[in-house]
Amino acid sequence: MKRGMSLAIFIFAATILVVAAGTIWPNASAISYAGGRKGGALGSTSTPQSAVEELGALLKLRATAKAYESLANKAEFAEPEFERDLAGSGLSLRTYATLDSFEVQPLHQSDSDAELLMKMRWSSVVGTFDDTRDLHAIKSGDRWVVQWPLKHQARVPPQVIPVNYLRWDVINRGPGDDWGTQDVEAPHVRIVDMHPVNRAEGVVVMGELLNEDVMPAFVSVRATLVSKDGSVLDSEGAFDMISQTLLPKQVTPFIIHFPGIPLSKVTSIRMDPLSVLVSASADPVVEIENQQYNSGHGAAATGQLTNQSGHAVNVAHVLSTFYDKNGQVVWVAGQYVDRALQPQTPVDFRVPVPQDLADKISAERTIVATYIQGNIQ
Amino acid sequence: MSAPTLAPERPVPMSFIIMAAVAIHLPLLLMQLPLKSYDTNFHIFFASHYVHHWFDPWNPKWFAGFSQTTYPPLPQQWTALLSYIFGLNMAYMAVQFVGIVLLAVGVYRFSELWVSPRAASYAALASVFLGSESFLVYSAGQLSTTLAAPIYLNALPYFYRWLRSGSWRSFLKASILLVTAAAAHHATLLFGSAFFALPVCALVVMDARSSEDPEKTSVAALLIRLVSLALVAGAAIAVVLLPFWIGLIHNPVTQTPIPHPSRANFLLSPEWGVNYFVVPYGALILAVPFIVMRGSSVVRLRPLMIGFWAAFLVGLGGTTPVAHLLLGRAFDVLTFERFSYWATLLCLPILGSIIATLVDRFRLKALIPIAGLAAATCALAVSWSTFRPADASNFSVDSVALWLNRDGHDQYRYITLGFGNKLSRLAIQTNANSVDGESNSSRALPELTEFGGAALTSSKYFGKPGLDSLRAMLNHADRYGLKFVIVRDPYYAPLLYFAGWRQVDALDDRTVTIWSKDGVPPATPMNASDRPTHMQGILWGTLPVGFSLLAILVVFLPEEKLRNGWATEQPYLYYDLVAGGATS
């Protein structure tokens, strides 16, 4: 009996110990499900960094109400404003984005306050986007609390905007009205530039495609790499690195990646542009302002997008083509804008360029593809 | 307080226990409650393939073609057989019901090895109310696990008897039942050997060394019997599941692990603690300290208690480092709700013994709260599929299936987005093939295996890995003849739009939209190298079901009573009293 009780006590003690160990030093899965909390601290805020990490964990778990309650400056704004700051106003990439990861960098700390940088990487349906915030943490008793730097959204006063745009409709498309079974000739499109380069990750094929026709075209490009013996090495499409809907005489850049295939293995490249007739309109008009290229550290094309139409653009995709001094395409890059483009409200964009190409670039051209919910044809 | 009685009382009749199982679970199964669970439709999908192609396990409907030999077939094959009478849905319920009844019988027979028949009967009755069983049946839909475990429990008494007495009938029955359990779910046998069989082996050694053992079995004899059974059963399992092993060797599990919340730390993530600990254990949580105390106090119960403790710790997933240390890389592949299920099964004999003691001492004062707690445990686990449904909305896929089946749309492959577990239901109803699917271990396409997402239809729930997998698949649509994406969640619309897909149709009041890509060639057969040979198909279609039929026949062979002269009731009464005092 005595041995039995000793065994029972051992089992209780060992269970408590392993549970404590699993909580203090959680494994990767446990950390992930706990919103990134490391070290098993159940909401510990004993240092400025741990306070920001706790806030990040709450955001990762989409516990926005708890995150708001934890803020030092919550009296300055309401919870819906905090939510709008994170999720954006109106449907956008931010609306359903989840916080994939975050990093906290301490910048300065005294006994009573601290400055920290929080780099958040959000995951959206079209990819990840970054959001960096400068946070101020203050000591409150024996714990630290974070002041959230709310970004106030600009509000445009009510006004009437005249809308005047070209529009092309397609009628009687064909039997069954099914896509791709059209009985009409496809719009004429042409690859006006094509340029393969060898990158560390593999071959990259880039170029530009022109809609030569007088009607809009829905386009895509596929490249097939052929080896010396005539066999196909790989075949890939531009996916979202192309603007699919081209109005008459419009040009779109494209870039196609072939990871793992060196250019030395490639003898020829077969390009297959595809176009079909499509209904389209010039609306919405998105103006690109203050466009410039910075070739220094963190080379990028930057500027502002302004939606000139009367309704919000939910998602905008900025595609930039970079040229060398001879006018040849050097690189094509893109960036999704994480916030909706509200009418007449400028939104910054930044399209990064690989640093090794930065000095070769002498000009750039940017276009914008847009998605409006419920406006899909 | 009334004085404890030493008079042995009669066990709860098995007929009553089975009636309790019928009364509680049959109505729920007739209501087809498991259809709301995560995996039920997946099992029915597999069964539907066996209905049409019994001897050809190659199924072209998922993953551009995959072999159903990647998953042990017995429950689905029985569902397919019974579907000729009941239809697929009710056949599934019938097989599941058999599993529930077999569990009560198996728990009784397994418990009889450890405790008195009366305590065993309480354990069997408790199995009917077990939260983990209801959780797996109604929320998780783990037909294979909940069918294999009862078969395994029913095999263990024969295993014990073979080791003790060398009865060749027991050897035959144990072997055939073990093979049948493996044909239902291989993991149950693999891990069950550690959690269930090792305690039984220890019990055999303890009983053999007991002074009351009239046979005085030597350790050498025990070892020879153990090895012979392991060899024969192992060889039979190797043959019966041969196509499975061939497939595993051909395509070892190398895919990026898919996150599963049963691997969370339940203290750091209490919402998952409720799901994977509170609901499966229910009121058993209150009994765990007493189970440990009773299991430690009674020498004969110690192996069982240690088996329970090990399964309990592993079932806690990432709450402790135990599972990770024991399983290594397998930690990131396995899910842990089944370990909690096994832990609850292992503790039932001890629980039965505690209940017997409490009822002896306190009669109705004990019986009423115990019954109430059991009922509450079962109710919580059954209703959990309503509180935390696998799919928030129930919807019909009929219109989508009709669309895919007409106008040659089934010449191309498709994927769904936002369909949840209706993915399997749609696959049953349509002739068209998909590159997506729900059987993670059956996947071979790199777009699915390299990222750490599960089914594409639910990719947003897997964050960046899930969406990366979806993007890779959409990018390679041409390779697979993937022309249609059927969307029930507008979340995905921006990706499709920017990736060059166009909406071509809308169904069900525009709640479902169909997107298409131009220039995609019609689908062609793929993954031909993974296709099982004709002989493998014959083996797969005959041996698992054949062994299950054999098992049904051999268990009716007469057998001497399990409890011989060397096992008396006296030790139970003594220890029930001693530990019962501590319990009360």
* pLDDT, tens digit, 9 for 90 and up, residues A78-110: 999 999 999 887 889 998 899 999 999 999 999
HEC assignment per residue over B30-58: HCCHHHHCCCHHHHHHHHHHHHHCCCCCE
A200 and B CB contact within 8 Å: no
All CATH 2.60.40.10 domain ranges of chain A, comma separated, are 283-371
Q: How far apart are CA B493 and CA A334, in angstroms?
A: 19
Q: How far apart are CA A94 and CA A97, in angstroms?
A: 5
Residue A130 has pLDDT above 50, yes or no: yes
Indicate the DSSP class of residue B135.
Answer: I
A100 and B CB contact within 8 Å: yes
Give the nearest partner residue to B296 out of A11, A40, A240, using CB atoms.
A11
Closest alpha carbon within chain B to A239 = B499
- Contact list, B293 vs chain A (CB under 8 Å): 4-5, 8
Residue A177 has pLDDT above 70, yes or no: no
Give the nearest partner residue to A23 out of B265, B289, B332, using CB atoms.
B265
- Please state the rounded mean pLDDT for residues A283-304: 91
* Residue to test with chain B: of A25, A101, A125, A241, most B Cβ within 10 A: A125
- Contact list, A240 vs chain B (CB under 8 Å): 495, 498-500
Q: How far apart are CA A76 and CA A78, in angstroms?
A: 7
A75 and B CB contact within 8 Å: no
Residue A311 has pLDDT above 90, yes or no: no
- Contact list, B261 vs chain A (CB under 8 Å): 33
pLDDT bucket at B582, cuts 50 / 70 / 90:
very low
Q: What pLDDT is stored for residue B392 in this prediction?
A: 64
Weakest-pLDDT range from A179-193, A306-320, B310-324, B431-445: A179-193
A222 and B CB contact within 8 Å: yes
CA neighbor of B404 nearest in space, from B414, B394, B417, B418 = B414
Q: What pLDDT is stored for residue B569 in this prediction?
A: 39
B85-143: per-residue pLDDT in tens?
999 999 999 999 999 999 999 999 999 999 999 999 999 999 999 999 999 999 999 99
- Contact list, A32 vs chain B (CB under 8 Å): 259
Q: Among 1.10.1060.10, 3.40.50.300, 2.60.40.3230, 3.40.190.10, name the CATH number for the domain at A167-277.
A: 2.60.40.3230
Residue B1 has pLDDT above 50, yes or no: no
**What part of B 39-58 touches A (C-beta under 8 Å)?**
none
CB B260 within 8 A of CB B461: no
* Residue to test with chain B: of A126, A235, A276, most B Cβ within 10 A: A126
Give the nearest partner residue to B320 out of A18, A32, A176, using CB atoms.
A18
- Please state the rounded mean pLDDT for residues A135-141: 92
Structure tokens belonging to residue B1:
């307080």
Q: What pLDDT is stored for residue B212 in this prediction?
A: 65
The percentage of residues in chain B with a pLDDT greater than 70, rounded to a whole number, is 93
Q: What pLDDT is stored for residue B211 in this prediction?
A: 63
Count of other CB atoms within 10 angstroms of residue A287 = 12
Question: How far away is chain B from the Cα of A6, in angstroms, using its nearest Cα?
Answer: 8
Question: How far away is chain B from the Cα of A255, in angstroms, using its nearest Cα?
Answer: 13
Residue A313 has pLDDT above 50, yes or no: yes
Give the nearest partner residue to A125 out of B261, B495, B518, using CB atoms.
B495
Question: How far away is chain B from the Cα of A95, in angstroms, using its nearest Cα?
Answer: 9
- Contact list, B467 vs chain A (CB under 8 Å): 123-125, 127
B328-386: per-residue pLDDT in tens?
989 999 999 999 999 999 999 999 999 999 999 999 999 999 999 999 999 999 999 99
Question: A21-147 belongs to which homologous superfamily?
Answer: NTF2-like; domain 1 (3.10.450.100)
Q: Per CATH, the architecture of A283-371 is what? A: Sandwich (2.60)
Give the nearest partner residue to B268 out of A23, A180, A244, using CB atoms.
A23
B153-185: per-residue pLDDT in tens?
999 999 999 999 899 999 999 999 999 999 999
- Contact list, A34 vs chain B (CB under 8 Å): 264-265, 268-269
Q: What pLDDT is stored for residue A178 in this prediction?
A: 54
Q: What pLDDT is stored for residue B573 in this prediction?
A: 41
Q: What pLDDT is stored for residue B2 in this prediction?
A: 43
B557 and A CB contact within 8 Å: no
CB A139 within 8 A of CB A112: yes
- Contact list, B498 vs chain A (CB under 8 Å): 126, 240, 244, 315, 317, 369, 371
Give the nearest partner residue to A22 out of B297, B319, B500, using CB atoms.
B319
pLDDT bucket at B209, cuts 50 / 70 / 90:
confident
B504 and A CB contact within 8 Å: yes
CB contact under 8 A, A244 and B263: no
Closest alpha carbon within chain A to B317 = A30
B493 and A CB contact within 8 Å: yes
- Contact list, B491 vs chain A (CB under 8 Å): 96, 125
- Please state the rounded mean pLDDT for residues B536-558: 94
Backbone angle region of A255, left / alpha / beta, with phi > 0 → left and psi within -120 to 50 → alpha: beta
pLDDT bucket at A368, cuts 50 / 70 / 90:
very high
More confident residue, A176 or A49: A49
Q: How far apart are CA B2 and CA B361, in angstroms?
A: 7
Q: What pLDDT is stored for residue B200 in this prediction?
A: 96
B9-51: per-residue pLDDT in tens?
789 999 999 999 999 999 999 999 999 999 999 999 999 999 9
Closest alpha carbon within chain B to A94 = B491
Backbone angle region of B276, left / alpha / beta, with phi > 0 → left and psi within -120 to 50 → alpha: alpha
More confident residue, B482 or A172: B482
Q: Please give the distance of CA B148 from its chain centroid, rounded to a whole number.
A: 7
Place of tokens 């998909």: B434
CB contact under 8 A, B467 and A222: no
CB contact under 8 A, B296 and A96: no
Give the nearest partner residue to A4 out of B296, B320, B467, using CB atoms.
B296
Q: What pLDDT is stored for residue B381 in this prediction?
A: 97
Closest alpha carbon within chain A to B406 = A176
pLDDT bucket at A128, cuts 50 / 70 / 90:
very high
Q: What pLDDT is stored for residue A296 in this prediction?
A: 85
- State the Cα angle at A322 between A318 and A328, rounded to 5°: 140
Q: Across chain B, what does the average pLDDT equal? A: 91
Q: What pLDDT is stored for residue A113 in this prediction?
A: 92
Count of other CB atoms within 10 angstroms of residue B95 = 27
- Contact list, B309 vs chain A (CB under 8 Å): 11, 15
> Going by DSSP bridges, is the β-strand pair B482-487/B413-417 parallel, antiparallel, or unpaired?
parallel
Residue A181 has pLDDT above 60, yes or no: no
All CATH 2.60.40.3230 domain ranges of chain A, comma separated, are 167-277
B261 and A CB contact within 8 Å: yes
CB B473 within 8 A of CB B447: yes
Q: What pLDDT is stored for residue B581 in this prediction?
A: 36
A175 and B CB contact within 8 Å: no
Q: What pLDDT is stored for residue B303 in this prediction?
A: 96
B269 and A CB contact within 8 Å: yes
Structure tokens belonging to residue B455:
């089914």
Question: How far away is chain B from the Cα of A139, in angstroms, using its nearest Cα?
Answer: 25
| ipTM for this prediction | 0.91
For residue B16, what are the CA distances in angstroms to B19, B20, B29, B129, B356? 5, 6, 19, 14, 17
Tell me how many helices (H) and strands (E) chain B has: 27, 7
CB contact under 8 A, B318 and A33: yes
- Please state the rounded mean pLDDT for residues A273-297: 90
A240 and B CB contact within 8 Å: yes
The full DSSP string for B363-405 is THHHHHHHHHHHHHHHHHHHHHHHHS-SSSS----HHHHHHHH
- Contact list, B260 vs chain A (CB under 8 Å): 29
